[in-house]
Amino acid sequence: MIKQTVTVFSIALLTMSACSSTQKTLGDNMLSKQEKQEGWQLLFDGVSTKGWHTYGKSEVGAAWQVKDGTIFLDASKKAGWQTSGGGDIVTNDAFENYHLKLEWKIAPNGNSGIIFNVQDDRARYEHVWHTGMEMQVLDNNGHPDAKIHKHRAGDLYDLIASSVETVKPVGEWNLAEIIQNQGKLELKLNGATIVTTTLWDEGWKNLLANSKFKNMPDFGRFRGGNIALQDHGDNVWYRNIKIRKL
């Protein structure tokens, strides 16, 4: 009787575990009923790169792979500071006034970034960061950029440092949020608001004038644009990329 009870209990535990695992898998790269009602839309379906292209091209390069429900940059084949077959990828659609959510994890000593308000015009702008602002993605404990003020994970790159650091250890998933609405910008990392600022006023102009972007006349001046994921020559993973228009 004891052996039978233990066996039944073990089967129940395995069933519960399997259901939990299935639910977790189904939850990635999907929208809940509430999210759909709130107007969220997926920017990554978990199985393809549909809706994205390499900046200046019509398709996504081979170094960006869909693997285990993530968009993964395989940076094993370096090409300067980026990757052969890589390059920054951007959404096909542009957005103005939005709430963006996504999860990222970075390889040891890695660097990447979430770049927004990008003008998808390679003929005019050589790189996405000639127009778009960046929320830094970084291994703070291993990458040299972490020693530079305003270059650490979560920072509004080279403009505003995080008020508090909530980044998780390398290899763990981080939830990043970018909320831009009517000139107000908020960056959140793992649930904490880490950057707030007002865009396009005199204070913003002063920030630009004292940054590495001061000689880029169109940087940070557009009120909307495409979302980009940066190829900085290091392995990086993204998933659960979703956006809601405000």
- pLDDT at 1 (0 to 100): 53
23 and 36 belong to one structural domain: no
Asked if 20 and 89 sit in the same domain, the reply is no
Average pLDDT value over all residues in the chain: 92
Phi/psi for 18 (5° steps) reads -65, -40
HSE-CB of 86 using CA atoms within 13 angstroms: 27
CATH code of the domain in which 223 resides: 2.60.120.560
pLDDT digits (tens, 9 = 90+) for 24-35: 444 899 999 999
Structure tokens, 126: 């050589």
Is a pLDDT exceeding 50 seen at residue 81? yes
Q: Which two tokens stand for residue 161?
A: 């440092």
Residues 13, 85 within the same domain: no
Contacts of 131 (CB under 8 A, 6+ apart): 117, 118, 119, 125, 216, 218, 219, 220, 221, 222, 225
pLDDT in tens, 149-187: 999 999 999 999 999 999 999 999 999 999 999 999 999
| 151 Cβ neighbours under 8 A, 6+ residues apart | 136, 138, 145, 157, 158
189 shares its domain with 177:
yes
Residue 9 confidence (pLDDT)? 46
Same domain, 212 and 226: yes
Domain count, the chain: 2
Same-domain pairing of 100 and 22: no
Query: Do 194 and 112 belong together in one domain?
Result: yes
| pLDDT reported for residue 233 | 98
Average pLDDT over residues 204-231: 97
Average pLDDT estimate for 114-134: 98
Residue-range definition of the domain harbouring residue 7: 1-30
Question: In 10 A of CB 153, how many CB atoms?
Answer: 29
Residue 27 has what pLDDT? 81
Pairing of strands 89-95, 225-229: antiparallel
Q: Taking residues 115-137, report their average pLDDT.
A: 98
Q: Give the bridge partners for 70, in sequence order.
A: 67
